[in-house]
Chains A and B, each alone.
Chain A
Amino acid sequence: MNWVGRAAKLALLAALAAAVAFGATDVQSAVNPIGPQSGKIANLWWFFFWLLGAIYIVVMIAALWTLTRPNRGFGQEPLEHTHQLSPETDRRTSRVVAGATITTIVILFVLIVASVGTGKGLSELGEQKNSLTIQVMGIQWWWQVMYQTSDSSIAVTTANEIHIPVGRPVQLRLLSNDVIHSFWVPNLHGKTDLIPSRVNTQWIQADKPGVYRGQCAEFCGLQHAHMIIYVVAESPDKFKAWYDRQLQPAAAPSDPVMQRGQQVFMNNACVYCHQIRGTDAAGQNGPDLTHFGSRLGIAANTVPNTPGNLGGWIADPQSTKPGNHMATIALNSADMHPLINYLESLK
C-alpha cells in the first residue's frame, strides 16, 4: 500500500517538474486558463489587450506625426507672431478632438459592457449542483484546507494542498484567523481576499488534470513570499482514491525505526501544534500531519517534500523560512532519522 502512495507522489512531482520544464511558467499564469472562470477572464483580457493595444498605437502615431510637420495648422500657415490659430484651423481641430473624445466614450462603453458581462458570467458559474465545498483558512504563513460535507465523519483536513476532481465545480469558503490574506491560483481564477471575521467564497473548476501553483496575494507579513498552495486537479477516480486515503487515520508504524520516530514525535513539543489522527497528537496550531508524507511540499510549499528538506526544516525551521511560527526543537541526531522516516511514511 505504501508504495502506491509514494508512486502517486512521485508522479505528481514528475508532473510538476514536467510542467516547470516544458511549460516553463504556466503553472501559475493568468493567461494559461484551465477552468471556465479563468477562461472567461483570459478571453476578456485578450479582448482588452488587442483593442487597447490598437488604440495605443493610433495615439502614438498621432503624437509622433506632430514631429514631421514643419509649419503650423492644417493649412501650414506661418503664424509665428500671433500665437493664434486661424478660425478655419481651430474649427477643424475642434472637430477632430471632439471626434476622438466621442470615440473614446464609445469604446469605453463597449469595454464596460464586456467587463460587466464577464463579471455576470463569472457569478453565474457559482451555486452549482454537484459541487464540492472546501474551506480554506489563511494562517500566517500557511493554508489550512478542510473539505466540508454534511456528514462530519467524512470531512478531511489537510494543508497547503487542495485536491479537486477534474470537471467538478468547487466552492471555496475563504477565511482568515489572523491577518488579511488573498487566495489566488491564477490558472483557475482571480483573487479573493481572506478577511478575519468575514467569509468570502470563490468558485473554481479545473478542466484539465495537473498541478497548479498559487500563492498568497495580499501582503501578510514577514513570510508572505512563502505562503504557497498547490491545487492538484485529478480524474474523479484518482480524487476519490486520494480522498478515501485522507479519511483514514494514520496507520500505526510496524517497522521499529518508524515506531521510534513516532515516539520521538509524541515525546516532544511537536504534539502541541500538530495533529496526527489515530495517535495522541492533537495540536491545532499547525498543519494537520496525518497524511504529511503524501504532500508535495514542506512549510507551505517553501521547499519540496523530500527527506533531506524535512530534516533541515525540523532541525532549524528558521533557516528554511525565517520568522515562521514553528518552534525549534532540540533533537539529538539519533532521533532525527527515525522521525523523518516516520513522517514521510504518513501517506
Chain B
Amino acid sequence: MTQTQDVLPNVPNQEQNISNLERTWRRGRGLIGWLSVTTHQAIGMRYIVTAFIMLCVGGIEALLMRIQLAKPNNTFLSADLYNQIFTTHGTTMMFLFAVPVMEGMAIYLVPLMCGTRNVAFPRLNAFGYWMFLGGVLFLYWGVFTGAAPDMGWFAYPPLSGPQFTPGKRTDVWAQMITFTEFSALCVATEIVVTILKMRAPGMSLNRIPLYVWSLLIQSFMVIFAMPAIVVASSFLLSDRTIGTHFVNPSEGGDPLLYQHIFWFFGHPEVYIIFIPALGFVSAIVSANARQHVFGYPAMVLSQIANGFIAFGLWVHHMFATGLPQIGEAFFTASSMMIAITSGVQIFCWIATLWTGRPRMTTALYFVYGFIAIFVLGGMTGVMLASVPLDLQVHDTYFVIAHFHYVLIGGAVFPLFGAFYHWFPKMTGRMMSERLGRWNFWVLFVGFNLTFFPMHILGLKGMPRRVYTYPPEVGWGFISQIATAGAFVIAIGGVMFLINVFRSRKSGAIAGNNPWDADSLEWATSSPPANYNFEYLPAATSRSPMWVPREERTFVTGLRTDRREVLVTTLMDAEPHHRYVLPGSSIWPFITAIAASITFVGSVFNPWYIISGSILIFVGLLGWFWPRRAAEIRDEA
C-alpha cells in the first residue's frame, strides 16, 4: 500500500496498518454496496452532484421565465405554467440546491478539516441523503405529472389552502419540505457532534478553521429554524388533508400566523445558505493571501452574532401586512444590525488581502466577485430594512435583484470559488485555471447584466410573480437586457461543466496540497482514502499545515481492524476516548424508502402515516439490530 500522508510518524507495522485500514473502511461492491455506503466523502459527493443537477434544472426554469418576460404580453408560457415554474424555481433553488449543496460540502470537508475518519453518525448521514433524494424525486414527479406547486415557494394561506388551490400541487410542495427538513436536521446533528466531539487533538475552540466554525453555527441554526417550518408545513398540510383550522381564515384560522412562523424559518434559512459560503471565503482568502484571516476572534464572534440576529428579524418580510409602528422600528434596527456583523467580516477579508500578497487563483477571483456583488446586495438589504422604503420595493423586482445579489453573490460565487479550490482535493486533479478565469468573467458579467437592471424595474413598479405585463408600463427593454444576461449566466454554467469534465479526465495531478493551504484536509492524499488519514493528525496551531513538517504530530494507537475514531473534549479537544463508528448498512436506505412511502402516501390518504410508521419501525429495527463486536466476530 502506498502512503498517502506527506509525513508519517515512525511507528512499526505501517504497511500492516494501511492494509487493515483499507479493508476496514472499504466501500461495498455492486448495487447493494453502493446503496449501503456510509463514507462521508461518498455521501457528500452525492449531495453535491444531486444539488448541482438541481441548480441546472432550476437554472433552466429561470431561463424559461426570462424568455417569457423578454417582451410585453408574451405568450411563450401560460399563466398556469409560469406560476408553476416560478414556484418550482424558488423551491428548487432554496430547498434542493442551496441548502443541500452547502450540506454536501460540509459533509465532505468537515471530517477532513477536523482530522477524523467520518462524520459522527455515518448511517444517519446516509439516511439524510436518501431523504433528500426522495424530496427531489417527489417534487419533480409532481412537475412531470402536472402537479407542480403553483402558489409560490412561501405558500401563503389562504391561497395555499384547500379552497383556493385544490388538487395535490400544494401538498406535494409541503411534503417535499418534510423530506428536506429531515435531511437538513440529520446533517446538522451529525455536523454539530462531529465538530464538537471529533476534532483532532489540539484543535481547541480557538483553533477551529473558520469554515468549520461557520458550519457549527449554521448547523445550530438549522436545528432551531427547521422546527418552525415543520410547524408551518404541518399546519398547512393538516388544514388541507384533515380539515384543521390553523391558518385558514374562513374557518377562523389566522393566515398571518403562518407568515410569522414561515419567516421565522425563512429568514434564518437565507443565512443557513450563506454562512457556510462565508466560511469558503475565509478558507480561500487565507490560502491565497498566504496568511491567517485577519481578526479570527472578530470573525468568529461576528458569525455567531449573525446566527443569533438571524432569528430576530423575520418581520421585515411582512412590513406590508400592517404592523404597529413600534414593532416596525424594532425590526428595522435588528435587520440593520446584520450589516454590522457582515461588515466586520468584509473588513477583515479586505484587511487580510491588503496585508497579504494575493495569489490570483480562480478561487480568489470568485472571492473578489463575491465582495463586489455581496456588498451591493448588503446595501440594498439595508434599504429593505427601512419600513418606508420596503413598502415601495417589497415584492417587486427590486427585491428579486436584492436577494439574487446576496444569494448568488453571497453563496454561489463563493461556492464556485470553493469548487475551484477543493476540486483538486476531491478528484486529485487541478481544474483549468485559464478556463476558470473565463468562467469567472462570464458569470460575473452575466450576473450583473441579469440582476442589476432588476433594481430599476422594481423602482419602476414591476411586481414579482407576474407572468406578463403590458407594453405601456415600459418594462420591456430592461427586461430584455435581463433575459440576455440570463443566457450569459447559462454560458458561464456550461463553461464550468466543461471545465469539470475535462479536468476530471486530464487535469494536472494535484498532489496533497496544491495551494499550500493551511487546514488539515490538505494533509492527506487527493482524493483522500476512505479512512481519510492513516494516522489522525493533531492540530498544533490554528494553521496546522503551515507548521513545519518536523513539528507536526499524529495520533497513534487507534485500532485499524474496526472503524475506530478518537473522541476529544469539547473545549480543548484533548483525547478522551476511542469510539467505534458503525459500518456500511443497507438499512438507512430501506428506512428512507419506508419514510418516503409514508410521506408521499399521506398526501393522498392520512392513514399512510399510521401504516407507514410500521414500515419505518421495521427499517429502524434492522438499522439498530445489535451486532457482535468486531473482535469477537473475527475470532468466530
Contact yes or no, A195 B255, CB < 8 A: yes
Q: Using an 8 Å CB-CB cutoff, how does the interface string of A159-195 with B read, 1 for contact, 0 for none?
A: 0000000000000000000111010101001111101
Task: Tell me the minimal C-beta distance from B362 to chain A in angstroms.
Answer: 15
If A45-B392, A59-B346 touch, does A30 touch B336 (CB 8 Å cutoff)? no
Contact yes or no, B469 A63, CB < 8 A: no
Query: Which residue of the partner chain, among B355, B392, B475, contacts A73 with CB atoms under 8 Å?
Result: B355
Contact yes or no, B396 A217, CB < 8 A: yes
The yes or no answer to B223 lying at the interface (CB within 8 A) is: no
- Assuming A48-B389, A224-B465, what are 6 further A-B pairs, CB within 8 angstroms? A44-B389, A93-B351, A189-B391, A190-B391, A196-B250, A215-B461
Q: How far is the CA of A85 from the CA of B351 in the complex (A)?
A: 11
B329 cross-chain contacts in A, Cβ below 8 A: 112, 116, 119
**Smallest CB-CB A-B distances: 7 pairs:** A190-B391, A25-B474, A28-B461, A225-B466, A115-B386, A66-B353, A200-B322
Contact yes or no, B355 A30, CB < 8 A: no
Q: Is the interface of B mostly helix, strand, loop or mixed?
A: helix
Contact yes or no, B388 A80, CB < 8 A: no
Which residue on chain B has the smallest CB distance to residue A323?
B79
Query: Which residue of the partner chain, among A59, A71, A189, A219, contacts B357 with CB atoms under 8 Å?
Result: A71
Number of A-B contacts (CB under 8 A): 257
Tell me which residues from 211 to 263 in chain B have a Cβ below 8 Å from any Cβ of chain A: 249-250, 254-256
Q: How far is the CA of A31 from the CA of B389 in the complex (A)?
A: 11
If A97-B294, A196-B250 touch, does A65 touch B344 (CB 8 Å cutoff)? no
Can you list 23 pairs linking A and B with CB atoms under 8 Å apart?
Answer: A20-B472, A28-B461, A41-B389, A48-B382, A59-B346, A69-B357, A83-B290, A83-B291, A83-B518, A83-B543, A93-B354, A97-B294, A112-B336, A122-B388, A182-B395, A190-B391, A217-B396, A220-B159, A221-B151, A221-B164, A222-B80, A225-B468, A322-B80
Contact yes or no, A70 B357, CB < 8 A: yes
Task: Tell me the minimal C-beta distance from A179 to chain B in angstroms.
Answer: 4
Which residue on chain A has the smallest CB distance to residue B383?
A48
Query: Which residue of the partner chain, among A56, A93, A112, A189, contacts B332 with CB atoms under 8 Å?
Result: A112
Residues of A in contact with B (beta carbons under 8 Å apart):
16, 20, 24-25, 27-31, 38, 40-41, 44-45, 48-49, 52-53, 55-56, 59-60, 62-67, 69-74, 79-80, 83-85, 89, 93-94, 96-97, 100-101, 104-105, 108, 111-112, 114-116, 118-120, 122-123, 140, 178-180, 182, 184, 186, 189-193, 195-198, 200-201, 213, 215-225, 322-323
Contact yes or no, A217 B463, CB < 8 A: yes
Q: Using an 8 Å CB-CB cutoff, how does the interface string of B67-107 with A read, 1 for contact, 0 for none?
A: 00000000000111001000000000000000000000000
If A56-B375, A60-B375 touch, does A101 touch B463 (CB 8 Å cutoff)? no
The yes or no answer to B473 lying at the interface (CB within 8 A) is: yes
Contact yes or no, B79 A223, CB < 8 A: yes
Q: How far is the CA of A221 from the CA of B467 in the complex (A)?
A: 11
Query: Which residue of the partner chain, among A85, A180, A222, contacts B291 with CB atoms under 8 Å?
Result: A85
Which residue on chain A has the smallest CB distance to residue B542?
A83
Q: How far is the CA of A338 from the CA of B538 in the complex (A)?
A: 91
The yes or no answer to B607 lying at the interface (CB within 8 A) is: no
Q: How far is the CA of A220 from the CA of B161 in the complex (A)?
A: 12
Which residue on chain A has the smallest CB distance to residue B318?
A193
Q: How far is the CA of A31 from the CA of B357 in the complex (A)?
A: 44
Which residue on chain A has the smallest CB distance to residue B328?
A119
Contact yes or no, B357 A195, CB < 8 A: no
The yes or no answer to B379 lying at the interface (CB within 8 A) is: yes
A16 cross-chain contacts in B, Cβ below 8 A: 472
Which residue on chain A has the smallest CB distance to residue B546?
A83
B256 cross-chain contacts in A, Cβ below 8 A: 195, 198
Contact yes or no, B159 A56, CB < 8 A: no
Task: Tell me the minimal C-beta distance from B485 to chain A in angstroms.
Answer: 20
B322 cross-chain contacts in A, Cβ below 8 A: 192-193, 195, 198, 200-201
B120 cross-chain contacts in A, Cβ below 8 A: none
Contact yes or no, B382 A108, CB < 8 A: yes
Q: How far is the CA of A94 from the CA of B294 in the complex (A)?
A: 9
Q: How far is the CA of A225 from the CA of B158 in the complex (A)?
A: 18
A222 cross-chain contacts in B, Cβ below 8 A: 79-80, 83, 150
Task: Tell me the minimal C-beta distance from A30 to chain B in angstroms.
Answer: 4
Q: Using an 8 Å CB-CB cutoff, how does the interface string of B134-163 with A read, 1 for contact, 0 for none?
A: 000000000000000011100010110000
B554 cross-chain contacts in A, Cβ below 8 A: none
The yes or no answer to B521 lying at the interface (CB within 8 A) is: no
If A62-B350, A189-B391 touch, does A80 touch B344 (CB 8 Å cutoff)? no
Q: Using an 8 Å CB-CB cutoff, how does the interface string of B334-360 with A read, 1 for contact, 0 for none?
A: 001101100110111011011111101
If A191-B395, A323-B79 touch, does A119 touch B387 (CB 8 Å cutoff)? yes
Q: How far is the CA of A218 from the CA of B320 in the complex (A)?
A: 10
A197 cross-chain contacts in B, Cβ below 8 A: 249, 254-255
Contact yes or no, B295 A115, CB < 8 A: no
Q: How far is the CA of A122 from the CA of B319 in the complex (A)?
A: 14
Tell me which residues from 434 to 485 in chain B have a Cβ below 8 Å from any Cβ of chain A: 458-461, 463-469, 472-475
Contact yes or no, B351 A97, CB < 8 A: yes
The yes or no answer to B298 lying at the interface (CB within 8 A) is: yes
Q: How far is the CA of A25 from the CA of B459 in the complex (A)?
A: 10
Contact yes or no, B152 A191, CB < 8 A: no
Which residue on chain A has the smallest CB distance to residue B457?
A25
Q: How far is the CA of A71 from the CA of B343 in the complex (A)?
A: 25
Which residue on chain B has the smallest CB distance to residue A65?
B354
Tell me which residues from 26 to 60 in chain B have a Cβ below 8 Å from any Cβ of chain A: none
Which residue on chain B has the smallest CB distance to residue A49?
B383
Q: How far is the CA of A83 from the CA of B458 in the complex (A)?
A: 46
Q: How far is the CA of A24 from the CA of B518 in the complex (A)?
A: 57
Query: Which residue of the partner chain, among B158, B348, B375, B473, contacts A179 with CB atoms under 8 Å?
Result: B158
B376 cross-chain contacts in A, Cβ below 8 A: 56
Contact yes or no, A119 B388, CB < 8 A: yes
Q: How far is the CA of A178 from the CA of B248 in the complex (A)?
A: 11
Contact yes or no, B382 A44, CB < 8 A: no
The yes or no answer to B368 lying at the interface (CB within 8 A) is: yes
A30 cross-chain contacts in B, Cβ below 8 A: 392-393, 458-461
Query: Which residue of the partner chain, among B295, B355, B393, contacts A72 with CB atoms under 8 Å?
Result: B355
Q: How far is the CA of A140 from the CA of B468 in the complex (A)?
A: 17
Contact yes or no, A193 B321, CB < 8 A: yes
Task: Tell me the minimal C-beta distance from B636 to chain A in angstroms.
Answer: 52
The yes or no answer to B372 lying at the interface (CB within 8 A) is: yes
B466 cross-chain contacts in A, Cβ below 8 A: 215, 224-225
If A179-B158, A193-B321, A196-B158 touch, does A41 touch B292 (CB 8 Å cutoff)? no
Contact yes or no, A219 B298, CB < 8 A: no
Between A83, A114, A116, A224, the greatest number of chain B beta carbons within 10 A of the residue's beta carbon is seen for A83
Task: Tell me the minimal C-beta distance from B286 to chain A in angstroms.
Answer: 8
If A97-B294, A217-B394 touch, does A25 touch B383 (CB 8 Å cutoff)? no
Query: Which residue of the partner chain, among A29, A71, A179, A200, contacts B459 with CB atoms under 8 Å?
Result: A29
A27 cross-chain contacts in B, Cβ below 8 A: 472-473
Q: How far is the CA of A121 from the CA of B151 in the complex (A)?
A: 36
Query: Which residue of the partner chain, among A84, A114, A123, A178, contacts B158 with CB atoms under 8 Å?
Result: A178
Contact yes or no, A112 B333, CB < 8 A: yes
Contact yes or no, B392 A28, CB < 8 A: no
B61 cross-chain contacts in A, Cβ below 8 A: none
Contact yes or no, B320 A192, CB < 8 A: yes
Q: How far is the CA of A266 from the CA of B325 in the complex (A)?
A: 50
B546 cross-chain contacts in A, Cβ below 8 A: 83
